[in-house]
Amino acid sequence: MNRSRLTLKLVTIVLFSALVFGGCQTKQLSQKPAEEQIAKVKEIWFKNKAGAYETVVKYETPAGEEQNTFRLAINNGVVIKFEMDITTKITDSISPQQGFRTEIGKTIVGKKIAELAPFDAVSGASLTTTAFNEALLKLKAQLKS
């Protein structure tokens, strides 16, 4: 009798562990890497009279959808100005996005658009960085840079 109770307890523990830990693994596997989380990036940048290009990016984060507007002014292939509108309502996203706006502006202004390569996470704003990289690729393709 003792042996069958012990076996029953072991089977119960194994099944319980499989359910608990199996559920955690399934949740982790279902999360998409940052580069796959880009929900929407407008397909077309547009140019206004002053050589400015603008796009709105929307992307999913664990806390909900984010949206940013990126604007670049380009003269003779060189970025002369960068602006970013931050519209997030997610409190934890504000500081990293503000840091991204400051740091990416310092990094790209004065550089040739054709020479800009994708960036790693800037100021901890990994998803914003990924969205910016995607938008930059689309702009470079439009400009054939």
What is the CATH number for 134?
A: 3.90.1010
Check: CB of residue 129 under 8 Å from CB of residue 121.
Answer: yes
Same domain (yes/no): 86, 132: yes
pLDDT (0 to 100) of residue 3: 61
| 3-state SS class at 56 | strand
Check pLDDT > 50 for residue 17: no
Same domain (yes/no): 69, 91: yes
| Angle, in degrees to the nearest 10, between helices 126-143 and 91-108 | 40
Q: Region 28-37: what's the mean pLDDT?
A: 43
| 0.85 exceeded by pTM | no
